[in-house]
């Protein structure tokens, strides 16, 4: 006997989910739309959707529609990840993280993405709206590499605050800071070359190094002093280091900011040993101090620093606007950026330039930084209260990332899996190194809409640590 029509439709949709036409977490067409598309009654579609809900394939969210389920799948796969690091497992974990990062039901301590309440959405909305009304040809026009002259001018003006005196032509617009770091590494090094990095460090740097077939030397980086420069010097004596990727301000994940002495010393080392410094300053504008910290680039008298940053942490992650000040590699970087894609979208470049130009950015930053400080304090006190004895946290004075060191008895990968089971995302320490370190660490993003749910989630995390012991 043939199965009823609604079951056929349900089977068909389940098939599409398996084929990835509808990804986990994705919204599927509304009942009315499906009814039209398939030319069947609304009642039949409702029956089909209800069957799919029973099967655990989709899930209704009130007033929002139907979405493909994802938790079970994610959890099952997360458990499979072994606690040794290799390209695949880290890669899988990170992809999974990004995936989960778009699920509204998960408390997003994992990815370093600020909640949209911390972004000037309304101003951008106005800026883009105005552009579309007044200059719709912007859809057609290319802004070829190095990018919008006005945007580069605005960036040059902003960078005065970090102590850098630049001309617009010193700057190339990139597709976010990750792209800036990739272009820097491509300009400076070739396959087989050795790069010194902080350990732990931002996972995007690790992935760039893997993809470009470079070798990494991981230099320990502590929450209070940053990269260990004695060890960097030792490493430079021993190996032919081509470049060193360093985050002088509010390092990701440990939150360190380099002292004046450390800045002078690392520049000295780069000159003495002839390596290039690739400065990642993406959290530089989120300092909690009265004035933002200087860029390393500002003290770069001998042109040995490449500066990378973006607006993804403070204005619009989805716009993907970053930039690079390439110094003596500028020509090479600009040419490579041009060949990579000819141009970055005109619309997003222009919208950010207009936002910077109208002067609302500093007000926005001041407000945001205050909330981050409040969230940080709340986070730290909740961890002190609910986490096992011996848990330590970093004490960043900028950005929105906390580095948590658990007692040796707690495994962060197991915690990660259990947390996901409780709709809580964290990023385990393993993601921040290529050498299988940081088993008892995780990173926590506190740029969230902080409420009772967030409090409860931190409490739950603490309880999970106790169980895991």
What residues make contact with its own copies under the rule CB under 8 A?
Answer: 19-23, 26, 91, 95, 98-99, 101-102, 113-114, 116, 119, 121-122, 124-125, 128-129, 132-133, 136-144, 149, 153, 167-169, 174-176, 178-179, 182, 190-191, 204, 207-208, 210-211, 316-320, 335-336, 338-348
197/410 with CB nearer its own copies = 197
CB 67 within 8 A of CB 26: yes
Minimum distance, C-beta of residue 35 to its own copies, in the bound complex (Å): 18
> 301, 284, 460, 462: which is closest to 389 by C-alpha?
462
Q: CB neighbours of 290 closer than 8 A, spacing ≥ 6? A: none
174/418 with CB nearer its own copies = 174
CB 200 within 8 A of CB 401: no
Minimum distance, C-beta of residue 9 to its own copies, in the bound complex (Å): 18
Minimum distance, C-beta of residue 344 to its own copies, in the bound complex (Å): 7
296/343 with CB nearer its own copies = 343
Minimum distance, C-beta of residue 432 to its own copies, in the bound complex (Å): 16
Radius of gyration of the chain (CA): 24
22/438 with CB nearer its own copies = 22
Strand runs (DSSP E) across 297-400, as ranges? 305-310, 322-325, 392-393
328/335 with CB nearer its own copies = 335
What is residue 446's three-state secondary structure? Answer: coil
Minimum distance, C-beta of residue 190 to its own copies, in the bound complex (Å): 7
7/103 with CB nearer its own copies = 103
Give 232: exposed, middle or buried? Use CB within 10 Å, 0-12, 13-18, 19+. Answer: buried
Q: How many CB atoms lie within 10 A of CB 79?
A: 15
CB 400 within 8 A of CB 282: no
How far separated are the first and last CA of the chain, in Å rounded? 55
CB 126 within 8 A of CB 259: no
Minimum distance, C-beta of residue 404 to its own copies, in the bound complex (Å): 24
CB 324 within 8 A of CB 147: no
Minimum distance, C-beta of residue 381 to its own copies, in the bound complex (Å): 28
Q: What is 300-320 written as a DSSP string?
A: -TTS-EEEEEESTTTT-GGG-
6/118 with CB nearer its own copies = 118
> 51, 119, 47, 80: which is closest to 312 by C-alpha?
119
* Strand-pair category, 215-222 with 65-68: unpaired
295/333 with CB nearer its own copies = 333
Joined together, the tokens standing for residue 258 give 């380099």
Minimum distance, C-beta of residue 32 to its own copies, in the bound complex (Å): 16
DSSP lists the bridge partners of residue 214 as none
Q: CB neighbours of 47 closer than 8 A, spacing ≥ 6? A: 6
139/384 with CB nearer its own copies = 139
Minimum distance, C-beta of residue 96 to its own copies, in the bound complex (Å): 11
């Amino acid at each position: 006997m043939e199965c009823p029509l609604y079951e056929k439709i349900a089977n068909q949709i389940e098939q599409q989910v398996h084929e990835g036409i509808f990804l986990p977490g994705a919204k599927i067409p509304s009942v009315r739309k499906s009814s039209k598309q398939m030319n069947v009654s609304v009642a039949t579609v409702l029956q089909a959707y209800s069957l799919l809900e029973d099967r655990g394939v989709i899930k209704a969210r009130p007033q929002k529609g139907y979405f493909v389920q994802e938790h079970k799948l994610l959890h099952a796969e997360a458990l499979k990840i072994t606690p040794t690091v290799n390209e695949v497992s880290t890669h899988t974990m990170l992809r999974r993280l990004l995936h989960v990062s778009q699920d509204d039901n998960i408390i997003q301590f994992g990815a370093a993405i600020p909640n949209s309440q911390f972004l000037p959405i309304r101003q951008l909305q106005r800026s883009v709206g105005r552009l579309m009304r007044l200059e719709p040809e912007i859809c057609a026009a290319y802004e070829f590499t190095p990018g919008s002259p006005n945007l580069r001018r605005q960036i040059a003006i902003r960078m005065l605050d970090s102590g850098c005196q630049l001309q617009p032509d010193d700057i190339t617009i990139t597709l976010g800071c990750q792209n800036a770091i990739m272009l820097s590494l491509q300009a400076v090094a070739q396959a087989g070359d050795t790069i010194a990095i902080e350990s732990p460090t931002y996972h995007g740097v690790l992935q760039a190094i893997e993809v470009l077939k470079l070798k990494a030397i991981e230099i320990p980086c502590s929450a209070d002093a940053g990269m260990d420069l004695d060890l960097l010097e030792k490493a430079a004596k021993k190996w032919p280091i081509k470049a060193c990727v360093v985050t002088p301000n509010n390092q990701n994940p440990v939150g360190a900011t380099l002292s004046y002495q450390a800045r002078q010393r690392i520049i000295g080392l780069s000159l003495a040993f002839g390596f290039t410094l690739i400065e990642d300053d993406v959290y530089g504008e989120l300092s909690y101090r009265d004035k933002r910290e200087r860029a390393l680039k500002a003290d770069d008298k001998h042109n040995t620093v490449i500066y990378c940053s973006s607006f993804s942490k403070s204005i619009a992650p989805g716009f993907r606007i970053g930039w690079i000040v390439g110094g003596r590699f500028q020509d090479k970087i600009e040419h490579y950026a041009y060949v990579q894609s000819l141009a970055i979208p005109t619309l997003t470049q222009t919208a950010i330039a207009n936002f910077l130009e109208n002067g609302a950015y500093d007000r926005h930053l001041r407000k945001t930084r205050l909330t981050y400080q409040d969230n940080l304090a709340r986070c730290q006190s909740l961890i002190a209260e609910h986490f096992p004895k011996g848990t330590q946290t970093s004490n960043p004075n900028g950005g929105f990332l906390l580095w948590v060191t658990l007692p040796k008895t707690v495994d962060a990968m197991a915690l990660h899996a259990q947390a996901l089971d409780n709709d809580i995302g964290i990023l385990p320490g393993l993601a921040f190194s290529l050498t299988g370190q940081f088993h008892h660490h995780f990173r926590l993003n506190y740029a969230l809409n902080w409420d009772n749910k967030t409090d409860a989630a931190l409490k739950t995390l603490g309880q999970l640590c106790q169980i895991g012991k």
